[in-house]
Amino acid sequence: MNRAAHRVQIFSSGGDYRYFLAVLRKFTGQLGLDVAAYCIMPNHYHVLVKGKGELLTPCFHEVDRLYAARWNERRKGKGHVFQGPFLSFHQRTSGWAVRTSAYIHLNPIGRAFPRSEDYPWSSYSKYLHAGSASSWVKPEIILTILQPDLVEARQIYADLVEVRIPWNPVVGRLAEEKRFGWILAIELAESVDRVSAELGFSDDEASRLVAYYGRSVLGLPLATLAQALAFESPNALSAQLSRVRNRLRRSEEYRATVERVAYILGETPSPPVRNQTL
């Protein structure tokens, strides 16, 4: 992703958006990068790609350079158009890739565009409609993570994007919809290794803290969490969560740890930090 210098508007006309997408298509195609999702906003862009990490720099260097040159030429400007080099984040798990894709497609949500599907400069329509697919945007990279059957996967993905709209009652909805709960529980299970590595905990302790987040923040059923996180039974998980609650009452340091886990597992990717690996 990248932002405009000083956050000014650098995409203002249909021609601006179309030119950026044409350049993106050209260089991802030349370098063998598959575009899974994108969203171009007035002052920034997001692109989710699959391919060799070392190809990102030559690709997006050229994309940013050519777009900046055109923008300056058409507006008789000079100097930096983007605030700096593009930012990239490694998607460590398939669940994180799904979450990032949904985050990208939710970018336009607001008063002007109350639904993601109404925004014309993102790849979301290609996720919803099979006939909208193109040779260079490959929503199946994300959709097949959810379900091999693309027809069903499109519906699941649309539902996932809908429940992540901020003003929806997410927790209540998720508790009622088993398939949403299962997908999120799988995402949490894939994040256990990351929590363990970042906090220096054993896998058992990391699983316990991840389960606590899934239960207390996302409202996921005990049975779903126990199955996804490989606990012996819902009752066994319930006992482990009681241990977490007891420690929370006694230790401020442990409360800070639980807050750190919540930050790691947050509903959307963490705020961008240069050279950060997710």
Task: Answer for the pair 108, 122: CB distance below 8 angstroms, yes or no.
Answer: yes
Report pLDDT for 120. Answer: 93
User: Residue 121 pLDDT > 60, yes or no?
Assistant: yes
- Listed range (34-48, 57-71, 91-105, 177-191) with the worst mean pLDDT: 177-191
Question: Pick the residue with more confidence: 164 or 114?
Answer: 114
- pLDDT tens column, 164-211: 554 333 433 433 345 556 667 877 887 888 888 888 999 899 999 999
User: Residue 20 pLDDT > 80, yes or no?
Assistant: yes
Please state the rounded mean pLDDT for residues 140-152.
90
Average per-residue pLDDT for the chain: 83
User: Residue 226 pLDDT > 80, yes or no?
Assistant: yes
Report pLDDT for 173. Answer: 41
**Which of the four pLDDT bands, split at 50, 70 and 90, describes residue 134?**
low
Cβ neighbours around 57 below 10 Å, total: 12
Report pLDDT for 190. Answer: 76
75-101 burial, b at 16+ Cβ within 10 Å, e below that, comes to: eeeeeebbeeebbbbebebbbbbbbbb
- pLDDT tens column, 247-259: 999 999 999 999 9
In what side-by-side order are the strands of the sheet with 2-3?
2-3, 44-50, 34-41
pTM of the model: 0.64
Helices assigned H by DSSP within the chain: 14-31, 56-75, 94-105, 124-128, 140-146, 150-163, 170-176, 178-190, 192-199, 203-216, 222-228, 234-250, 252-264
Report pLDDT for 145. Answer: 86
User: Residue 67 pLDDT > 90, yes or no?
Assistant: yes
Report pLDDT for 237. Answer: 95
Specify the fold of 1-168.
Answer: Alpha-Beta Plaits (3.30.70)
Percent of the chain at pLDDT exceeding 90:
46
Report pLDDT for 132. Answer: 57
Task: Answer for the pair 82, 68: CB distance below 8 angstroms, yes or no.
Answer: yes
Report pLDDT for 41. Answer: 94
Q: Where in the chain are the domains?
A: 1-168, 172-264
Please state the rounded mean pLDDT for residues 104-115.
79
